[in-house]
Every structure is written in C-alpha cells, then in structure tokens.
Structure 1
Amino acid sequence: MPYVLLGCAIGSEIIATSALKYSEGFTRLWPSLVTAVGYLFAFYLLSLTLKSLSVGTAYAIWSGVGTAVIAAVGMVFMGEAMTAAKLAGIALVIGGVVLLNVGSAAH
C-alpha cells in the first residue's frame, strides 16, 4: 500500500508541475488552482507514505521519478528539445534512485 500511495503522490506532483507551466506566473486561475491543489495532495500522500517507508527511500523515489517523468513530459508534450545530455541526465536520475534503494535494502 505505501508504494501505491507514493505512486499517487508522484502522479499528483507531475500534474501540478505540468499545470505550473501553464499558470503563467500564477496569473491564470485554473492552472494555478491545479498547481496548488496538486502539490498539497502530493505532499499529503507523501506524508502518508512516510508512515511505512523510510524518508530517504520515499523521497528518492518521489523526486527521482517525478524529475524523470517531468523531463519526458517537457520533451514529448511541451516542445522541449530532446538532447543526448537530457536523456543521459534522466538515466542518471533513475540510476541514482535505484542505487539509493539498493543501498537501503542492504541495511
């Protein structure tokens, strides 16, 4: 169950971050509301996750997966350039999350 909550927290954070792009500095009402509610919900779900998972593991997964997915969303849906450097960065983020989780499992 904690990984389901964490997945929902990540999804909410991805939606909020995507809406942030369209809020135009919080000058557009609906994208601004989606951003605010999305982040509040993401942090709430993350707090529930922390009842069962260590903060290091949960945050590494939350931030790493969120970062990688948002970078991909930017490239696929928002017209951002897909470069070898960006793809390598995404791979490094994912690799870092995997290493943190492997290190956590060893203890």
Structure 2
Amino acid sequence: MKEGNGIGWLFLSMAILLEVLGTMSMKWSESFTRLLPSILMFIFYGASFTSLNYTLGYMSVSTVYATWSGVGIVLISLIGYFIFQEKLSIASVCWIAVIVIGVVGLNASTKGH
C-alpha cells in the first residue's frame, strides 16, 4: 500500500458519496422506467467502484469495504427516511446503530496495526 492515508480517506469519501447518489438514482429510475436516473445510476456506481478501487491502494480492504458499505447503509437509510418518506422502525434504528458501532470499532482496531 502507498503512503498517504489522507488520500485514501478522500477516495473513500468520494466512493461513499457516489454510491449513495447511485442508490438514490436507482430509486428515482422507478425500475428502469425513467431514462435519466437509470443512466445516472450506472455512472454513479461506476465512478464509486473506480474510487473504491483507488482507495484500496492506500488502505486495507477490510476497512475500506466495511466503511464504504456501513456508511452507505446509514446514509441511504437516513435519505430514505427524510427524502423518500420511508418508515424507520425502532428496531431498524437499533440495527443501524450496530452498523455504526461496527464500522467505528473496525476503524479503531486497525489504527493500532
């Protein structure tokens, strides 16, 4: 892996943002019945995976993938609630908290290595 973990976090942040935009576009595409959101979905996901690939040059795959997927889950759950007016049960909120704890714990445990 290359030196410069700050660059890795920048690529990872971009990958997370692009993945969330891809998921939002997927929702807006209405099962591929709307052309522009359908095209944007592929563009955002492609850019997200490209950024994720660059991230792996700076950080370990376990940290990268857990952070990317975990933060993405949390963000899209919040977006689903606030933007798409989807329900979040108390149980869902609790399980989302477990995901956050897991991502934080994994990142904290890898800093010591």
Whether the TM-score (by the shorter chain) exceeds 0.5 is yes
Aligned counterparts of 1:100 and 1:9: Cα–Cα separation in 2: 18
Aligned counterparts of 2:107 and 2:99: Cα–Cα separation in 1: 13
Sequence identity percentage: 38
Q: Which residue of 1 aligns with 2:53?
A: 47
Match of 2:42 among 36, 47, 59: 36
Paired AA for residue 106 in structure 2: L
Q: Deviations over 1:48-73 (max 9, x none)?
A: 00001000001111000000000000
Aligned counterparts of 2:91 and 2:78: Cα–Cα separation in 1: 13
2:75 is aligned with 1:69: yes
Q: Which residue of 2 aligns with 1:23?
A: 29
Paired AA for residue 81 in structure 2: M
Match of 1:58 among 52, 64, 73: 64
Aligned counterparts of 2:26 and 2:95: Cα–Cα separation in 1: 22
Match of 2:93 among 71, 76, 87: 87
2:19 is aligned with 1:13: yes
Aligned counterparts of 1:71 and 1:89: Cα–Cα separation in 2: 11
Q: Quote how far apart the aligned CAs of 1:102 are.
A: 2.1
Query: CA RMSD of the aligned region, Å?
Result: 1.0
Any gaps of 5 or more consecutive residues in structure 2? Answer: 1-6
Paired AA for residue 6 in structure 1: L
Aligned counterparts of 1:89 and 1:83: Cα–Cα separation in 2: 10
Point out 4+ residue stretches in structure 1 off by more than 6 angstroms.
none
TM-score between both structures, scaled by the size of structure 2: 0.90
Any gaps of 5 or more consecutive residues in structure 1? Answer: none
2:102 is aligned with 1:96: yes
